[in-house]
Amino acid sequence: MYKLSGVTKDYQKGRNVIAALQGVDLVIEDGEWLAIQGPTGHGKTTLLQMLGGLDRPTRGSVVFGDQSGTDLAQMREARVTKVRAESIGFIFQTFNLVPTLNAQENVEAALVPLGVPAAERRVRAAQALEDMDLADRARHLPSELSGGQQQRVGIARALVKQPRVLLADEPTGNLDEETRDEIIGLLESLWREKNLTLILVTHDSSIAKRAQRVGVMQNGKLSIRQDVH
Amino acid sequence: MFVTYLRRELRRRARQASIIALGLALGIGLVITVTALSSGVKNAQGAVLHSLYGLDTDITVTKAPSAGNGGSGTFGFRGAFGTGQRPAPGTKIDVDNLRNVFGYGSLTDANLNAVSKLHDVAAAAGGLMLNDTKITGKIPAINFGGGNGGPAGSGSGGGTFQASLKPSNFTVDGVELASKAAALGPLSNSKLASGRTFSSTDADSNVALVDSGYAKSQKLAVGSTITVAKKSFKVIGIVTTPAATNSSDVYIPLARAQKLAGMAGQVNTIYVAANSAANIDTVSSEISRLLPKATVTNSSDLDKQITGSVASASSLASNLGRWLAVAVLIAAFLLASLLTMSAVSRRVREFGTLKALGWKSRRVIGQVLGEAVVIGIIGGVIGVGLGFLGAALIDNFAKPLTASVGPTTGSATPGGAKTFGGPPGGSFPGGGNSNGSAGRFVQNAESAAHTVTVHLSAPVTAGAIAAAVLLAIAGGLIAGSFGGWRAARLRPAAALARVE
């Protein structure tokens, strides 16, 4: 699914240059579940941004899919946006739901850039919420939902477009322990059912070890843990 | 999705949206009110000019008198007695002269005809403004001796003089009766209060219309008789004219006025209507070429001469009012822009998330623009309401305005120049100087400055409302552009970068 070669990302902070990623090489297979661990500020989120096409590396290539031509680092912004819209689902730590749209409308927002007609959007969003056991919360605003419910709406939003890849950035970071287990369980079952490629960033070892493979970010460098599975 | 998102977002930040809308409303309301005020002042100026010259008169043509032919500057007794010698004491005086108003030269019927045939002239009518002066009584026996003459009834020993002779005068306007001339000239502003107006069959008749103010002072009514140049005229109607307008006391058919004043085939004013407001200047130029010695005056010339509170209001509306409206509008646009940018800054994560979901920048910008334009339109609607309110306040509470059109060195303005004294000859007895200038009865022309009172209204035109709508949309677009620019610069990574 992904092939990262020599991916480096530098940020300019005043006169200093901060190397968020240093020459990361990584291959992620289709249908794989990769967890990325590491302390805060060592490049986990930056790596996820590269995988999601949300940012471009300073150097290196991020080849997405089977064709070598789809280097997210070199594509025009409009093309990257299209790839994101069609193929990549995001789940955020803070849920990132639009506060003025209800649960159903938040899920529909993921289908808008695909040009899906309004009626079809409503049907698909309703189904996605039903899959998350949130059919009865479709008309509720995010402020009227619990943390776990909001995250499930986020997951529904990520999955409604049937993406090839799911990128989850600390999806349980703002949840209590019970809800966290529930969400991780849900993600795991979805990964298995839909044969998704799941890349999950977490600082929680108990979550990371549930993945097929665990990578560790340390000072912008990625190493794969061999003692897992 | 677009409308739903827009509606919900505006409801979420209703307070901020209200502030922006109100700011725009104030600016737009002020623009409408000032525009309405300017229109009202223009209408007031138009009313001033129309009251002086008649509803449809665009141009007046007059002529300065040639030397020695200045109209009736002095009263004179030469006509009464056939001699310039002082009449004997005790001689009865009964003089009634109808003379051209001083300061006006004469134009001919041929001039009038030529003007009416000019291209772009819709109609032309002649008018003859005259003064009817009467003196009755007896020449007193007392010798005044010395001093200069002055207006009738003055001078040394004046009390006896006044007791012996009774002077009076009133203004007479000879008016054309043709239907095409009906909307031209000062009589066109009049309303018939009683009786009837002239018909074409009255052209050679001794019939008169009398101004209501003069009728009241002289106790005249329909059916009464007045004497003009020693001829009896029957009053067939009483007319009222707008307050303090340039009205004459008596109106008689032009042909009769010409004959009684000894001015056959002559007029002293030609009133002209152009076939279009756009052609007024062209017609004025053509008349000047046709009659090079005439004074041609149109409304834009008189605009410059108008003084009084109409002129002040005009200056206020066009200077202070306009700049104030522009300043408030700019401030409102700036406020709207700043608040919109601020709102976008608070939605960084939201817009970053939408971009992460695959929303194109232009869709996000479109959302921001849409919200801003809707706020602008709301502001515009409120602004139109405020504009109507401002205009209504002006309509109901503004004091009436006055306008004076002063004298010019020519006699293009009604009444011509005020003057004292006149050519020698026919001097009044008892006067002092051998050259006959003493004791001369002198007649003034009509008052040189004409003051008109008009009500100030502030009409809100469809054009002003359309401009308000455009301003509202422009305000929204400007504010939205600033916000959209801010949103366009957002990196989607900002959404993930906000993770705690």
Collect all residues with Cβ–Cβ distance below 8 Å to B230 and sequence separation of at least 6: B96
Residue A229 in domain: no
Residue A93 in domain: yes
Residue A74 in domain: yes
Q: Name the residue facing B359 among A96, A99, A113 (closest C-beta).
A: A113
Selected residue with higher pLDDT from B455 and B448:
B455
Task: Please tell me the predicted confidence (pLDDT) of residue A220.
Answer: 87
Instruction: Specify whether the CB–CB gap between B68 and B423 falls below 8 A.
Output: yes
Residue with tokens 């949206």: B17
Task: Please tell me the predicted confidence (pLDDT) of residue A227.
Answer: 57
Mean pLDDT of all residues in B238-257: 83
B401-405 β-sheet, strand order: B306-307, B401-405, B450-454
pLDDT for B369 beyond 90: no
HSE (side-chain half, CA atoms, 13 Å) at B358: 23
Selected residue with higher pLDDT from B421 and B304:
B304
Computed on alpha carbons and rounded to an integer, the radius of gyration of chain B in Å comes to: 34
Say how far apart CA B7 and CA B23 lie, in whole Å: 20
Task: Please tell me the predicted confidence (pLDDT) of residue B490.
Answer: 72
Instruction: Identify each DSSP E strand in chain A by its residue range.
Output: 2-13, 16-28, 33-37, 59-64, 88-91, 165-169, 197-201, 213-218, 221-224
Q: For residue A21, what are the β-bridge partners?
A: A9
Contacts of B355 in chain A (CB under 8 A): 81
> Residue B311 is encoded by which pair of tokens?
């002129």
Q: Give buried/exposed letters for B248-272 (b at 16+ CB in 10 A, else e).
A: bbbbbbbbbbbbbbebeebbbbbbb
HSE (side-chain half, CA atoms, 13 Å) at B32: 34
pLDDT for B293 beyond 80: yes
| A94:B493 CB<8 A | no
Contacts of A54 in chain B (CB under 8 A): 356, 491-493, 495-496
The CATH number linked to A175 is 3.40.50.300
Q: Does A147 touch chain B (CB under 8 A)?
A: no
**Residue A193: CB atoms within 10 Å:** 9
Question: How many domains would you assign to chain A?
Answer: 1
**Residue B169: CB atoms within 10 Å:** 18
Say how far apart CA B377 and CA B11 lie, in whole Å: 15
Q: pTM of the prediction?
A: 0.62
Instruction: Specify whether the CB–CB gap between B484 and B365 falls below 8 A.
Output: yes
Query: By CB neighbour count within 10 A (0-12 exposed, 13-18 middle, 19+ buried), where does A216 fall?
Result: middle
Least confident range of A89-103, A195-209, B205-219, B334-348 = B334-348
pLDDT digits (tens, 9 = 90+) for A48-58: 999 998 888 99
B43: amino acid identity, one letter: N
Q: For residue B453, what are the β-bridge partners?
A: B402
Task: List, for chain A, all residue ranges whose pLDDT scores fall below the cut of 70.
Answer: 66-69, 226-229
Q: Name the residue facing A96 among B353, B358, B500 (closest C-beta).
A: B353
Domain span at residue A184 reads 2-224
HSE (side-chain half, CA atoms, 13 Å) at B49: 22
Instruction: Specify whether the CB–CB gap between B199 and B127 falls below 8 A.
Output: no
Instruction: Specify whether the CB–CB gap between A198 and A33 falls below 8 A.
Output: yes
Residue A103 in domain: yes
Residue A70 in domain: yes
Q: For residue B210, what are the β-bridge partners?
A: B238, B250
Task: Please tell me the predicted confidence (pLDDT) of residue B113.
Answer: 92
| A100:B491 CB<8 A | no
pLDDT digits (tens, 9 = 90+) for B380-423: 899 999 999 988 888 888 777 666 655 433 333 344 333 333 33
Residue in chain A lying closest to B3 (CA): A101
- pLDDT tier at B444 (50, 70, 90 boundaries)? very low
Task: Please tell me the predicted confidence (pLDDT) of residue B409.
Answer: 33
Instruction: Give backbone dihedrals phi and psi of A223, rounded to 5 degrees, phi first.
Output: -130, 145
